[in-house]
Structure 1
Amino acid sequence: MIDHLEVQTRDVDLLCDFYKTVLEPVGYALKIDDAVKGFGNDERMDFFIVQGEPSSEVHYAFQSSDRKTVDRVYSLAGQKGFTLDREPSLAPHIHPNYYAAYLRDPDGRLVEFVSHNED
């Protein structure tokens, strides 16, 4: 349903470092490194960072292939000193296999990594 997402920040380099770290395990890399930073994989590019006034009243989730990937993202974020919000866990009130971890990006946005698989 969503074609792409663009977020604004006062510090493009800091935010870009955060997303390079946490998106690598889910197969995304920096594809456009200009005034606009664009992240994607070999099939699509759908996440962008631009200079501007950030809004922290946002929550979005990146799909992960499995629970180990969710755990890896959370671990990498912690190793880099990024803000951890909620550790990886099941959320059976959403559905039995909903496994997610939550971080805060440098602008305070709630960023979720989720797997819908049993493993």
Structure 2
Amino acid sequence: MFDHIMLKVKDLNSSKRFYSAALAPLGFSVQYDADGIVVFGPKDAPALCLAKGEPTGPVHVAFVAKNRAAVKAFYDAALPAGGKDNGKPGLRPQYSANYYGGFVKDPDGNNIEAVCHQEE
């Protein structure tokens, strides 16, 4: 439903490092890095933009994962890159029967999630 999201971040280099690691298992990479903006996405489909500035408060951003293994890979990559656990990968049946998500806090405290809605 959305084309892209822009987040203001305190430390652009730290956030770039975090998102580069965390989003790689989901098929995202840096698509643009200039003029104080870093843009992530699959090739030719930028989805997440980061800009240095004062964060406007914690937000929740959920990225689609192709399978449950990708959710786990996202979570496992995010923690050593500066993320903080906010919910280990697992089923969340309170959301829907096949809702499998993993949650981490980014360096600015945003709740970043990878989610898969496919059956195992």
Q: Give TM class, smaller chain.
A: over 0.9
Q: In the alignment, which residue of structure 1 is the partner of 2:97?
A: 96
**1:12 match:** 12
Normalised to the residue count of structure 1, the TM-score between the two structures is 0.94
Deviations 1:63-108 (A, max 9, x none): 0000000011111223335211110110112111100010000000
**Residue correspondences, number:** 119
Tell me the TM-score normalized by structure 2: 0.93
Partner of 1:48: 49
Counting only pairs closer than 5 Å after superposition, residues 1-119 of structure 1 correspond to structure 2 as 1-34=1-34, 35-119=36-120
Paired with 1:79 and 1:53, the residues of 2 have a C-alpha distance of: 24
RMSD after superposition? 1.2
Moved over 3 A (4+): none
Deviates more, 1:36-45 or 1:12-21: 36-45
Could you say what secondary structure the match of 1:80 adopts?
coil
Cα contact 1:9–1:49 (8 A) shared by 2: yes
Whole-angstrom CA distance in 2 between matches of 1:5 and 1:101: 20
Q: Which runs of 5+ in 2 are unaligned?
A: none
Preserved CA contact (<8 Å) 1:55 1:107: no
Cα distance between partner residues in 2 of 1:59 and 1:97: 20
In structure 1, list runs of 5 or more residues that go unmatched: none
Q: Distance in 1 between matches of 2:50 and 2:79?
A: 22
For residue 68 of structure 2, what is the amino acid of its counterpart?
R
Q: CA deviation at 1:10?
A: 1.6
